[in-house]
């Protein structure tokens, strides 16, 4: 029987015989001595095969990488010169006396010593996961879920499962459909979130609910998207936004303390409006010290129409970013930043270099200097806090474009100038607008079940565009970890919000009739939040993609190279499900309709 | 802010002011006094509205069942005559001083005081779950999963998620399919279990895995089946059957101690052969003291061909059940048991009443007495242990029919004669055959990844029908709680088993190629087990259906009356998925093929 994991054998075992099971991480033959690095989930230990154990020695000489073996031997202190204090097992080695081989392995299709293609890594995922870095990530993920569960369970939250085979949910992304065999021509949808079910559970009196649950979105995948992803889903009854924020902030702090030995401290809270104004983002990375400074008031009377136009337009914005040390930027570099903001629709990027502040206007350099009087220039320098050696970069456009472009530029400059300070910067963003307006329509900024801060229905109807929602997002290092809201628990309010969103009575009844009905029967006030587990673990482990913190992710075309999913179904299966595949040569046609 | 749950207010709160949130379980007006039973997740507390608080009193008189309210008041001891020691809150009541209404409720579509139709209960599930019995079941389920998780996590098991969108798995039931949008004409399958993924995780070196995970089978539903159900899924590396049984038995004992205060004791282990012989079942209910007694040796020389035929046939069986006190059975009752065994294919049921043992053959009564000599009769009485007042019932048929029929009869008699002893009778059943034979084909009794006890491939090939598998089932009170096995970790053995099962190389490669490939690369020995969570919770809570321990179950036609799932998809959705619905008037036709 195994004594312990390889990675746990340390000086406390010195002088003892141990039996270890694991994989050959490496075999080295040095001057007639065979060294085996034996690996398991917890780490690697060095084995020296006892040259006096002839049979074992002979067998050991057949070992190759990734053979699965059992080794029994004596734990010895390493010679002083070979001690590796970086490893838990670095002070000892095993004098291997007995060896047995559970299974051999041919040369591997993955080379653990270099990067392998993602396709190859996914096809041989069971090998890729043997790499200590990947193993540790899955171990860490398991620790995260265990810690989250204990925190919530100790807080009186019930783990309640909601259906996977359900009805289309209202998150707005594309649903995965599942044909029903018993109800011909009909389909289940896989849930994009358990939103409505968790609200119903609050109406059932379950009081505090949580679930770590798979959600599904059939979207075109980007680096950080997967067809199925995992949410830490939370809902509470009778609590307000501050209560839910306090509980979940405490949970996150406790996670970081337990698992990373990091004290996140109290999370600051800022409003959506402030976040957009200062950082040009609703999920600002506060490690980045750069800020957007509004200069509309200073430039609005200038002759420079590019600035004065937006500055005088209620829907325009002129914002500056001061980049410390940025005066060294070349014309080419500035031009590249100009192209970068172009991605966000900005037409250009004005700039002003502060070569020597003590020389007044003489010390400045900028193509737009001529448009401004000295008072304005002084005001610009003062408001932005410009110092010698800095550059000021200006965005002037519609509020949306200027904010987006300068927000993105802020992030890029922060990286390019290596400005990020502090390792972890969490915050809450609150006071989101209820609605976004586009093409004369209102859209829910969160989802249509989010309560407005002001529960007055008439006020909401009168001025929906200005209404704030009772929603809150938890942001860490520029990543939205989770978001939630107080939900509407009043049927009339819910019906009003549906109406404002342009959802007809018929559509509301068809899609959410059961929710409206449920709100009639003593529905309690309730509020909740959902965290993206994959993203959280990715951030905490420093992985670069959520694929690296999932055991069996899909490719960017939503396929699994390991199992070859998806695959073809038999005609019998399709017939039973009352469906047929319809593959048209002309994709445009097939986009128009199925028949 | 809420002081505590309603159900937690006891004498320790006496004299204190509390604020409680919950639902009006009942309002009674007695002699000008208003009593409110206020209910939340944890229980019910009695509130007496203070008649001196005029405004509150007036508002309270508008309360109806299931209004959601907040009540602030003083905790008082009840008058002695009104104390209810059965309830935690039964010694106190709240003198209600302030009341506010979160939400009202019209008359309910469910009557909590009587049985409601299942359809209605599911349509208004959020109300049905408010019934204390249903609430308690979900609370209990959450405690079960929490306890299981802690037990396994403390034992070094990692919680690792496996995909829901995957490839058809080999459990043999019908798969739910999900059309792929990006791979036109192809489908994902929802997993019937994470079997292959958990084996791959062991090959990844994860060592100990668990997951509480949704599984899916598109089968015609019976009382205890649901389209989606939940498994406690466990897999371990380097452990043998006994180790896995020890860990999971300890887990189950710990669950029962923690949650039901029941000591299950050590589980007995019996072989499949013994279970079939003594109990006529591979999941015997050991609370039932009745046993099947083989009497082939005694009757094989008799003239009664109904007995001597099967007794002399290697594939036949003659088994008796002695029913204490059964001599009182009427002819009609015996005939009904005869019809009952007919369901299982038995052609009849012979019987022998022991009216008075002291009178020898004179004291016996049976239509078949005449076929046997006194020595045989004495032997029958002795072997079955018959006493005065008993009846012996005999099944004689093929081994399969006699065993099934008498096994079922044993259960029925146990109930009818109220013979069940003890509350909880767990056991392990082991030494299952590797294969079942039918129509000249071999079928896997567990699944095709189950290892035989004897790892000799040639021996298996030579005599597969007699091979025993290294599988184990945990049985409680006649219900299979979970089953597992040591898995095959040798590629040649796996290929051999596939071949014996009639799986062609092509099919094996197409379906399980990745598993066979994975077995090449240092696959470790591994073994695991899966429990049916729904059934476990049903058993532990005494619920009659797994639907009563799931928050949002489906009907027996796999529909959800609450959300109206499944539903129709739009032509645009279907076109995007490259499928069309094909509904044929003639079902027979549509069963033949889709095109």
Is the Cβ pair B552, A66 closer than 8 Å? no
Decide if pLDDT at B595 tops 50.
no
Of all residues in chain A, the one with the smallest CA distance to B214 is A164
Quick one: average pLDDT of A11-18?
A: 97
A168 vs B420 pLDDT, higher one:
B420
Q: In 3D, which of B128, B132, B133, B136 has the Cα closest to residue B111? A: B128
Quick one: average pLDDT of B529-533?
A: 98
Q: Report pLDDT for A585.
A: 62
Q: Report pLDDT for B102.
A: 97
Question: What percent of chain A is helix, strand and coil (3-state, nearest 5)?
Answer: 35, 25, 40
Query: Does the annotation place B532 within a ligand binding site?
Result: yes
B254 vs A588 pLDDT, higher one:
B254
The three-state secondary structure class of B351 is: strand
Domain A288-421 CATH assignment equals 3.40.50.1110: no
Q: Report pLDDT for A586.
A: 52
Decide if pLDDT at B396 tops 90.
yes
Q: pTM of the predicted model, to two decimals?
A: 0.95
Quick one: average pLDDT of B182-210?
A: 97
Which residues of chain A lie closer than 8 angstroms to B164, CB-CB?
Answer: 164, 190, 214, 216, 228
ipTM: 0.94
Band (pLDDT 50/70/90 cuts) for residue A590 is very low
Band (pLDDT 50/70/90 cuts) for residue A275 is very high
Quick one: average pLDDT of A368-391?
A: 95
* Contact of A354 with A388, CB cutoff 8 Å: yes
Quick one: average pLDDT of A173-185?
A: 94
By Cβ distance, the residue of B167, B566, B577 closest to A188 is B566
Of all residues in chain A, the one with the smallest CA distance to B134 is A204
Q: Report pLDDT for B252.
A: 98
Q: Report pLDDT for A64.
A: 96
Q: Report pLDDT for A594.
A: 34
Q: In 3D, which of A351, A344, A350, A345 has the Cα closest to residue A408? A: A344
What tokens does A397 get?
Answer: 């456009």
Q: Report pLDDT for A169.
A: 65
By Cβ distance, the residue of B186, B518, B582 closest to A567 is B186
* Contact of A233 with A210, CB cutoff 8 Å: yes
Decide if pLDDT at B136 tops 60.
yes
Give the minimum alpha-carbon distance from A488 to chain B in angstroms, rounded to a whole number.
Answer: 12
Domain boundaries, chain B: 6-103, 115-270+423-431+474-486+524-595, 288-421, 433-468+490-521
Decide if pLDDT at B569 tops 60.
yes
Question: What are the start-end ranges of the E strands in B112-180?
Answer: 158-159, 177-179
Class of residue B332 by CB neighbours under 10 A (exposed 0-12, middle 13-18, buried 19+): exposed
Decide if pLDDT at B330 tops 70.
yes
- Say yes or no: B187 contacts chain A, CB-CB below 8 A: yes
Quick one: average pLDDT of B41-59?
A: 95
Is the Cβ pair B580, A577 closer than 8 Å? no
* Contact of A91 with A10, CB cutoff 8 Å: yes
Chain B, residues 124-183, CB within 8 A of chain A, namely 124-127, 129-130, 135, 138-139, 141-142, 145-146, 149-150, 153, 158-168, 174-183
Q: Which of B112, B187, B219, B487 has the most A C-beta neighbours within 10 Å, making it the best mutation to test the interface with A?
A: B187
Quick one: average pLDDT of A87-109?
A: 96
Q: Cα angle at A131 between A130 and A133, to 5 degrees?
A: 125
Chain B, residues 195-234, CB within 8 A of chain A, namely 196-197, 200-201, 203-207, 214, 216, 218, 227-228, 230
Q: What is the pLDDT of residues B203-215, one digit of tens each?
A: 999 999 999 999 9
Band (pLDDT 50/70/90 cuts) for residue A221 is confident
Quick one: average pLDDT of B2-18?
A: 97
* Contact of A467 with A309, CB cutoff 8 Å: no
Quick one: average pLDDT of B165-181?
A: 86
By Cβ distance, the residue of B135, B572, B580 closest to A582 is B580
A147, A151, A156, A252, A261 from A258: Cα distances, Å: 8, 11, 20, 10, 6
Q: What is the pLDDT of residues A534-587, one digit of tens each?
A: 999 999 999 999 999 999 999 999 999 999 999 999 999 999 999 999 987 654
Decide if pLDDT at A589 tops 70.
no
Q: In 3D, which of B318, B313, B347, B353 has the Cα closest to residue B333? A: B353
Decide if pLDDT at B592 tops 80.
no
Decide if pLDDT at B462 tops 80.
yes
Domain B115-270+423-431+474-486+524-595 CATH assignment equals 3.30.930.10: yes
Give the minimum alpha-carbon distance from A575 to chain B in angstroms, rounded to a whole number.
Answer: 4
Which residues of chain B lie closer than 8 angstroms to A218, CB-CB?
Answer: 181
Q: In 3D, which of A142, A139, A157 has the Cα closest to residue A248? A: A157
Band (pLDDT 50/70/90 cuts) for residue B31 is confident
Decide if pLDDT at A378 tops 90.
yes
Residues A267 and A287: their CA atoms lie apart, in Å, by 13
Binding-site residue ranges of A for L-aspartate: 171, 217, 446, 487
Band (pLDDT 50/70/90 cuts) for residue A438 is confident
Q: Report pLDDT for B511.
A: 87
Decide if pLDDT at A595 tops 70.
no
Which residues of chain B lie closer than 8 angstroms to A189, CB-CB?
Answer: 565
Which residues of chain A lie closer than 8 angstroms to B565, CB-CB?
Answer: 163, 165-167, 188-189
Decide if pLDDT at A592 tops 70.
no
Chain B, residues 59-118, CB within 8 A of chain A, namely 66-68, 102-106, 108
Band (pLDDT 50/70/90 cuts) for residue B585 is low
Decide if pLDDT at B112 tops 50.
yes
Query: Does the annotation place B517 within a ligand binding site?
Result: no
Band (pLDDT 50/70/90 cuts) for residue A253 is very high
Q: What is the pLDDT of residues A297-313, one digit of tens each?
A: 999 999 999 999 999 99
| Residue keyed to tokens 């915050």 | A427
Q: B568: which strand partners? A: A186
Decide if pLDDT at B138 tops 80.
yes
Q: Report pLDDT for A170.
A: 59
* Beta pairing, strands B158-159 & B208-216: parallel
Q: Domain A427-530 is in which class?
A: alpha beta
By Cβ distance, the residue of A161, A187, A554 closest to B230 is A161
Q: What is the pLDDT of residues B232-282, one digit of tens each?
A: 999 999 999 999 999 999 999 999 999 999 999 999 999 999 999 999 999
> What CATH code is assigned to A6-103?
2.40.50.140
By Cβ distance, the residue of B163, B207, B590 closest to A40 is B207
By Cβ distance, the residue of A196, A203, A571 closest to B593 is A571
Residues B588 and B581: their CA atoms lie apart, in Å, by 17
Question: To the nearest whole percent, how much of chain B has pLDDT over 70?
Answer: 97
Quick one: average pLDDT of A484-503?
A: 95
Averaged pLDDT of chain B: 94
Which residues of chain B lie closer than 8 angstroms to A161, CB-CB?
Answer: 214, 230, 550-551
Band (pLDDT 50/70/90 cuts) for residue B355 is very high
Q: How many CB pairs under 8 A join A and B?
A: 374
């Amino acid at each position: 029987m195994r004594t312990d994991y390889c990675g746990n054998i340390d000086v406390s075992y010195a002088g003892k015989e141990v039996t270890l099971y694991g994989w050959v991480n490496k075999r080295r033959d040095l001057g007639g001595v065979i060294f085996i690095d034996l690996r398991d989930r917890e780490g690697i230990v060095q084995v020296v095969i006892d040259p006096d154990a002839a049979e074992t020695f002979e067998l050991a000489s057949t070992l190759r990488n990734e053979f699965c073996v059992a080794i029994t031997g004596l734990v010895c202190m390493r010679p002083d010169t070979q001690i590796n204090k970086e490893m838990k097992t670095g002070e000892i080695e095993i004098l291997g006396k007995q060896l047995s081989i559970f299974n051999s392995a041919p040369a591997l299709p993955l080379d653990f010593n270099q990067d392998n293609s993602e396709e190859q890594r996914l096809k041989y995922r069971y090998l890729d996961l043997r790499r200590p870095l990947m193993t540790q990530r899955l171990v860490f993920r398991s620790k995260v879920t265990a810690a989250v569960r204990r925190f919530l369970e100790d807080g009186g939250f019930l783990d309640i499962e909601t259906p996977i085979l359900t009805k289309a949910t209202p998150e707005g992304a594309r649903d995965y459909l599942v044909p029903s065999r018993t109800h011909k021509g009909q389909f289940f949808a896989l849930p994009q979130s358990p939103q409505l079910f968790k609200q119903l559970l609050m109406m059932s009196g379950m009081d505090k609910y949580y679930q770590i649950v798979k959600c599904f979105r059939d979207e075109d995948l980007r680096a950080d998207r997967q067809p199925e992803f995992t949410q830490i889903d939370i809902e509470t009854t009778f609590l307000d936004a501050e209560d839910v924020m306090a509980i979940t902030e405490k949970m996150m702090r406790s996670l970081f303390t337990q698992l990373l030995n990091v004290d996140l401290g109290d999370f600051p809270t800022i409003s959506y409006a402030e976040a957009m104004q200062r950082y040009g983002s609703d999920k600002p990375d506060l490690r980045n010290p750069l800020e957007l400074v509004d200069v509309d008031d200073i430039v609005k009377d200038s002759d420079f129409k590019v600035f004065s136009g937006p500055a005088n337009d209620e829907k325009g914005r002129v914002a500056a970013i001061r980049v410390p040390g940025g005066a060294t930027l070349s014309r080419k570099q500035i031009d590249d930043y100009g192209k970068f903001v172009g991605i966000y629709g900005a037409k250009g990027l004005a700039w002003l270099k502060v070569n020597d502040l003590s020389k007044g206007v003489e010390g400045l350099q900028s193509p737009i200097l001529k448009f401004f009087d000295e008072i304005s220039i002084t005001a610009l320098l003062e408001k932005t806090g410009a110092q010698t050696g800095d550059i000021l970069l200006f965005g002037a456009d519609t509020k949306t474009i200027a904010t987006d472009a300068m927000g993105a530029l802020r992030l890029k400059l922060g990286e390019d100038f290596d400005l990020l300070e502090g390792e972890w910067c969490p915050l809450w963003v609150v006071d989101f607008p209820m609605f976004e307006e586009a093409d004369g329509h209102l859209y829910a900024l969160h989802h249509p079940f989010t309560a407005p801060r002001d529960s007055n229905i008439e006020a909401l109807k009168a001025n929906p565009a200005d209404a704030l929602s009772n929603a809150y997002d938890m942001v860490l290092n520029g990543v939205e970890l989770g978001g939630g809201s107080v939900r509407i628990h009043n049927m009339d309010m819910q019906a009003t919000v549906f109406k404002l969103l342009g959802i007809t009575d018929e559509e509301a009844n068809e899609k959410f009739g059961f929710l409206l009905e449920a709100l009639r029967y003593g529905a309690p006030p309730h509020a909740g939040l959902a965290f993206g587990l994959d993203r959280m673990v990715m951030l905490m482990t420093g992985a670069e993609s959520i694929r690296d913190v999932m055991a069996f992710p899909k490719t960017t075309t939503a396929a699994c190279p390991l199992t070859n999913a998806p695959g073809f179904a038999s005609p019998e299966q399709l017939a039973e499900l009352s469906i047929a595949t319809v593959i048209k040569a002309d994709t445009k046609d097939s986009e128009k309709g199925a028949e």
